[in-house]
Structure 1
Amino acid sequence: MKKSLVAVGVIVALGVVWTGTAWYTGKQLEGRMAEMIGNANAELKKASPEAGLTLSYQDYQRGLFHSSMQLVIKPTQGMTSAILKPDQSIVFNETIDHGPFPFAQLKKFNLLPSMASVHTTLVNNPTTKPLFDIAKGQSFIDAQTRIGYSGDTSSDINLLPLNYVNGEEKVAFSGGQFKADVDGQGDKIAVSGEAESGLVNTVNEYGQHVQMTFNGIKTEGDSARSEFIERVGQQKASIEKLAISVEGKEMAVLEGLNINAKSAVQDDKKHLSGQIDYSLDSLKVQNKDIGSGKLTLKIGNLDGAAVHDVTQRYNAESQKLLADPAVTQNPEVYQQKIVELFAANLPLLLKGDPVITVAPLSWKNAKGESTFNLSLFLKDPAQATGEATTLEEQVNRVVKSLDSKLVIPVDMATELMTQVAQLEGYQPAEAAKLADQQIKGLAAMGQMFRVTTMEDNNVVSSLQYANGQVTLNGQKMPLSDLVGMFGMPGTGEPDVAPAPELEAPAAPAVPQQ
């Protein structure tokens, strides 16, 4: 009997502790909600000021073991949102299980103590109704988030499958699974996920049936807060296959598209560097194999303090533009203002003497691979003294040195142009003949104007520059002479007469379609 009473007492005691702890953590979460929403808005403003959005919460109802509320996304007051109209909003229902062991978490056999577990679904309102229509009345987004006592969060986000048909319009989506982890201070973020497939059928403005399909979308990346720019880190994205067809005829197929972008603070803790890699395994247009390509673009020695200043200015000016109806209601004016804003701040980005490299930009087909490489060392124009009175002095204020090289195999270029000619309606024999004439003509013209040479059946062009001196295909000359070769205003006319034997042969007439 005594043992039974002891057991009951222990159970009652544990129940009291559980109840008290759950009540405390629920109250603690409610007290921190305003702070968390404020931090989220600060992040949103820094990361995407042009979005013009503000996050808020409403209808918070706290219970003993569970609480609920709604998160609301609306356009920022006094600004024009790029996503939502003034009368639109996106609302999420949030169901919160209190810690230390939220019920939703225990269902997944996760026994780690946490402040809360939050279940998020989308609310059906006039803004989101179209999405509910194609999701058969269900919330397209279903997310479960664990909130730790340190403030860190871990979210599992599920995008539900879609299958919508309305006359000739169709949308199908396999659904997707994504994961996002954020530390308590919001300093470190990791995001990953994938979606298996999707399809969109629609009718374009010309009454043609257009279909786009994709397979195997994946993304993975992480970032950390930096004292100079908002975040540095790495993000990868890939698509196994993307296809577009018109009236049942396959127009283009891209396979193996990969993007890898990364940024970092350099070892001196004063400069930033970045790199972005693109690669495409295959491009086919109307069943013609056009080839594959890749690009690696790097930039280094960006002055961190200058980048920070430019970012702050850009964000502030962007906010002003979004608050001006005369600008936001005219997309062309808005685009022009953004370009002007970037151009005005561009000189500041040269403060650290940045270096830009392209190594390489290439395109490859069955007959060979064309490549372009570039190395450009820039200078801070603010460090220059005196007035620039000549072209060389003007360029030397910004450019320290340049080294570039272009190599185009004749066979590769001929194969590419043969495929293009067939797409234009030529028969294979005619297309091959036309392509051969075109490439020979272009090669001859390049030699005629001394911008290219022929090496081992490759069209080659190399250009180096330093201290006002240019080397074009091994020939040294002042910068003014190079500019004069192209007859630019105020620089004189080309002094090279066309060589009769290098004149391009006439191309055959284009066939009637």
Structure 2
Amino acid sequence: MKKSLVAVGVIVALGVVWTGTAWYTGKQLEGRMAEMVANANAELNKASPEAGLTLSYQDYQRGLFHSSMQLVIKPKAGVTSAILRPEQSIVFNETIDHGPFPFAQLKKFNLLPAMASVHTTLVNNPTTKPLFDIAKGQSFIDAQTRIGYSGDTSSDINLLPLDYVKGDEKVAFSGGQFKADVDGNGDKIAISGEAQSGLVNTTNEYGQKVLMTFNGIKTEGNSSRSEFIERIGSQKGSIDKLAVSIEGKEMAVVEGLGIDAKSELQEDKKHLSGQIDYTLKSLKVQSKDLGSGKLTVKIGNLDGAAVQEFSKLYNAESQKLLADPATAKDPDIYQQRIVELFAANLPLLLKGDPVITIAPLSWKNAKGESTFNLSLFLKDPSTATGEPTSQEEQINRVVKSLDSKLVIPVDMATELMTQIAQLEGYQPAEAAKLAEQQIKGMAAMGQMFRVTTMEGNNVVSSLQYSNSQVTLNGQKMPLSELFGMFGLPDTGAEPAPELEVPPVPALPAVPAVPQQ
């Protein structure tokens, strides 16, 4: 009997403790909500200021074990270029289970203490109604987030499968699973996930039936806050296959498309470096195999403090452009001002003497691979004295050295142009003949103007530059002569002698494109 009373007493005591703790953590969460939303807005503004969006919360109702509220995404006041119109909003219902052992977490047998577990779903309103229509009235987004007492969050985000048919229109989606982990201070973020497949069948403005399908979308990455720029880290993304057809005819198929980007602090902790890799395993257009490609771009020796200053100025000025109705309403003017803004602040990025390399940019088909490599060493123009009096001096203030090389196998280029000619309507034999004529003609013209040379069966062009001295395809010349070859304005030096260019041989007549 006494043991039973003791057991009952323990259960009651645990119930009181749990109830009191749940009430306390619910109150603590409510007190931190404004701070968490403010931090989210700061991240949103830094990551995508051009979106013109802001996050807020409303209708917070706190209970003993559960609370609820709504998160609202809407356009910023006065920003006319936001991706949402002033009357639009995206609203999420948030159902919060209080800690230390949220019920939703216990259902998954997760016994680690947590401040709360939050279930997120999309609200059906005029903005999101089309998405609810194709999701058969369900919330397309369903997320479960664990909030730790340190403020760290771990979210499992599910995108529901879609199967919508209306007349000739069809949308199908396998669904997707994504995971996002953020530490309590927002310093470290990790995101990963995948979606297996999707399909969109619709009609274009010409009344043609268009079918687009994809398979195997994946993403994985992590980032951390940096002293100089907002974030450094890595991010990968890939698509196994993307296909487009019109009226049942395959137009394009892209396979193995991937991007891998990373940035990091260098050993001295004062400079930044980064690298981005693009890969494409196969590109087919109307069943013609055009080949595969890759591109690797690296940049190093970016002065961290200068990058930080550039980022502040660029973000501040771009925000002003977004707030200007005249600029925001005209995409062309906005793009022009953004380019001008970047150019005006570019000298900041040249502090630290950055280095840019392309190694390589390549395109490959069954007959060979063309490659382009570049190594460009820049320097800080602010270290130069006096005012430049010519284009040559202007370049010398910015460029320390350049080394580049282009190699195009004739057979590879001929094969590529043959495929393109067939896409334009030529028969295979005519396309092959035309492609051979074009490549031979371009190679001959390149040699006439000393832009290219022939090495074996490859069209080659190389250019090196340092201290006003240029080496083009093994021939040394002053920079002014190179300018003269391309008809550029006078650089202040003696003009280069005119080249006696023999007439280009006429190419054989091109057969008419047959009617489709």
TM-score band w.r.t. shorter chain = over 0.9
**2:294 paired with 1:294:** yes
User: Normalising to structure 1: TM-score of the pair?
Assistant: 0.98
Structure 2: 5+ residue runs without aligned partners?
none
Paired residues, what number?
512
**Partner residue, 1:509:** 511
Structure-to-structure mapping, 1:268-287, within 5 angstroms: 268-287=268-287
Q: What secondary structure does 1:279 align onto?
A: strand
- Kindly indicate whether the alpha-carbon contact (under 8 Å) linking 1:445 and 1:503 is maintained by their aligned counterparts in 2: no
**Partner residue, 1:135:** 135
Q: What secondary structure does 1:155 align onto?
A: strand
- Kindly indicate whether the alpha-carbon contact (under 8 Å) linking 2:81 and 2:329 is maintained by their aligned counterparts in 1: no
**Partner residue, 1:427:** 427
**Partner residue, 1:495:** 498
Task: Give the fraction of aligned pairs with identical amino acids, expressed as a percent.
Answer: 84
Distance 1:114 1:205 in 2: 53
| CA apart distance, 1:395 | 0.8
Q: What secondary structure does 1:439 align onto?
A: helix
Which range is displaced more, 349-358 or 177-186? 349-358
- Kindly indicate whether the alpha-carbon contact (under 8 Å) linking 1:229 and 1:308 is maintained by their aligned counterparts in 2: yes
The one-letter code sitting in structure 2 at the alignment partner of 1:36 is M
The one-letter code sitting in structure 1 at the alignment partner of 2:137 is G
Distance 2:386 2:336 in 1: 32
Q: What secondary structure does 2:86 align onto?
A: coil
**2:374 paired with 1:371:** no
Structure 1: 5+ residue runs without aligned partners?
none
| CA apart distance, 1:504 | 5.4
- Kindly indicate whether the alpha-carbon contact (under 8 Å) linking 1:53 and 1:81 is maintained by their aligned counterparts in 2: no
Distance 2:404 2:206 in 1: 44
Deviations 1:30-75 (A, max 9, x none): 1111111111111111221111111111111111110000001111
Distance 1:401 1:81 in 2: 41
Deviations 1:6-27 (A, max 9, x none): 1111111111111111111111
Distance 1:161 1:320 in 2: 41
Q: What secondary structure does 2:69 align onto?
A: strand
Distance 1:326 1:486 in 2: 39
Deviations 1:235-272 (A, max 9, x none): 00000000011111001101011100001111111111
Structure-to-structure mapping, 1:78-477, within 5 angstroms: 78-477=78-477
Distance 1:205 1:495 in 2: 52
Deviations 1:448-484 (A, max 9, x none): 0001000010000000000000000000000110111
Deviations 1:61-113 (A, max 9, x none): 11111000000111112223431111111100000000011000010111110
Q: What secondary structure does 2:88 align onto?
A: coil
Distance 1:463 1:293 in 2: 23
- Kindly indicate whether the alpha-carbon contact (under 8 Å) linking 1:392 and 1:468 is maintained by their aligned counterparts in 2: yes
Which range is displaced more, 207-216 or 219-228? 207-216
| CA apart distance, 1:408 | 0.3
Distance 2:206 2:334 in 1: 29
| CA apart distance, 1:494 | 7.0
Which range is displaced more, 420-429 or 358-367? 420-429
Distance 1:32 1:215 in 2: 41
Distance 2:391 2:56 in 1: 56
CA 200–278 in structure 1, closer or farther in 2 if over 3 Å, else same? same
Distance 2:30 2:510 in 1: 77
Q: What secondary structure does 1:422 align onto?
A: helix
Deviations 1:164-199 (A, max 9, x none): 222222211111000000000000000000000111
The one-letter code sitting in structure 2 at the alignment partner of 1:509 is P
Q: What secondary structure does 1:451 align onto?
A: coil
The one-letter code sitting in structure 1 at the alignment partner of 2:206 is Y
Distance 2:509 2:24 in 1: 83
Distance 1:447 1:499 in 2: 11
**Partner residue, 2:71:** 71
CA 341–390 in structure 1, closer or farther in 2 if over 3 Å, else same? closer
- Kindly indicate whether the alpha-carbon contact (under 8 Å) linking 1:448 and 1:496 is maintained by their aligned counterparts in 2: no
The one-letter code sitting in structure 2 at the alignment partner of 1:508 is V
Query: Pairwise CA RMSD of aligned residues?
Result: 1.3
| CA apart distance, 1:499 | 4.0
Q: What secondary structure does 1:510 align onto?
A: coil
- Kindly indicate whether the alpha-carbon contact (under 8 Å) linking 1:70 and 1:93 is maintained by their aligned counterparts in 2: yes
Which range is displaced more, 483-492 or 146-155? 483-492
